[in-house]
Amino acid sequence: MKRIGFLACLAAVMGMAAVAHADLSSCSTAHVIIEVNPNVAVSTVADPDIQNIQTGTIEVVITFLVEANLQEACVYVEASNLYKGDDPTNDDVPPIPLDTTVPVTISPVNANPLNGGSNMAAWIGPGSPIGPYETELSETICFESSQNNHFSQEVDITVTWDQDDPEKPTGQYSGMVRLCALVTPDSTEG
């Protein structure tokens, strides 16, 4: 019995000694992995210059900057009619209508439509309002950049309105145009 008691005491003393003789420092390593997700940002380079017209077709070129961390981006346009005094709620003066028979031209500086497509996007129906401005929506066109694995460039769009009223009241008419860009679904696969 004395022997069992002695062994139990010896085990307890050794356990305390192990704690007393622990290392003075210790380290551990973790392997960190992150995945950079595709992203895209669009900004307006500058508002277009004011144009003077009596009657006829009005073509306006607007330059946007599209910046994405991948080489493919899809874009579409939404545009409104042009309203006298920048007031889309005034029914007294009919607006200058967006000419939806003329496709919007989308022209990136360093990219071409995928699969040999066209850069002319037809108007396909109502878009999302921009504030109080009702808009029309264009088709979406996907482009591949010629830049090194990114899409960071100016994109010119050409939108057309038709001022066909020779008795249209004089003054400034204005509206809104929006360019939207999105990443292509297969660009997120890896």
Fold of 40-185: Immunoglobulin-like (2.60.40)
Is residue 83 within 8 Å of residue 91, measured between CB atoms?
A: no
Angstrom distance (rounded) from CA 15 to CA 13: 5
Q: Where are the domains of the chain?
A: 40-185
19's tokens: 């704690």
Over residues 36-64, the mean pLDDT reads 92
Percent of the chain's residues with pLDDT above 90: 74
Q: What is the pLDDT at residue 15?
A: 53
With b meaning 16 or more CB within 10 Å and e meaning fewer, what string describes 74-100? bbbbbbbbbbbeeebeeeeeebbbbbb
User: Full-prediction pTM beyond 0.85?
Assistant: no
Task: For 123-173, write each residue's pLDDT tens digit.
Answer: 999 999 999 999 999 999 999 999 999 999 999 999 999 999 999 999 999
